[in-house]
Amino acid sequence: QQQVKQSPQSLIVQKGGISIINCAYENTAFDYFPWYQQFPGKGPALLIAIRPDVSEKKEGRFTISFNKSAKQFSLHIMDSQPGDSATYFCAIRFWFSGGYNKLIFGAGTRLAVHP
């Protein structure tokens, strides 16, 4: 079973600070690395994604950094706001021999941004 190791499990950041969440994977048969955001009582929703031919992708205050040689990628939230308080999941797209792909998720990071 392919795994994605996500850390930390929980994170507390002051408003305006930088939130950093890290993920590591074991295999190289992946070609798509999305991050999902989940608010309480809601399902996860795609936040930002990156392909391995790019080392960094930025969308507003959210940045994904990708280190292919280290098999790691991370999410940085700049100028963190209380509204960013949610659970964040990294994921990897795994090419499955059955002719389709599936997303494998990390265990999640619960982020709390204090005012």
In the complex, which residues of this chain contact other proteins (CB under 8 A)?
Answer: 3-4, 9, 32, 34, 36, 41-46, 49, 89, 93, 96, 98-108
Q: Where do we find the tokens 């930390």?
A: 8
Helix (H, G, I), strand (E, B) or coil at 43: coil
Cβ proximity to other proteins, 77 vs 92, nearer residue: 92
Smallest gap from Cβ 65 to other proteins, in A, equals 21
Smallest gap from Cβ 15 to other proteins, in A, equals 26
Q: Taking a C-beta distance cutoff of 8 angstroms, is the pair 53, 31 a contact?
A: no
Give counts: helices (H), strands (E), the chain: 0, 11
Smallest gap from Cβ 73 to other proteins, in A, equals 16
Candidates 23, 35, 24, 33; CA nearest to 84 is 35
Cβ proximity to other proteins, 34 vs 73, nearer residue: 34
Smallest gap from Cβ 55 to other proteins, in A, equals 20
CA 64, CA 20: separation in Å to the nearest integer?
10
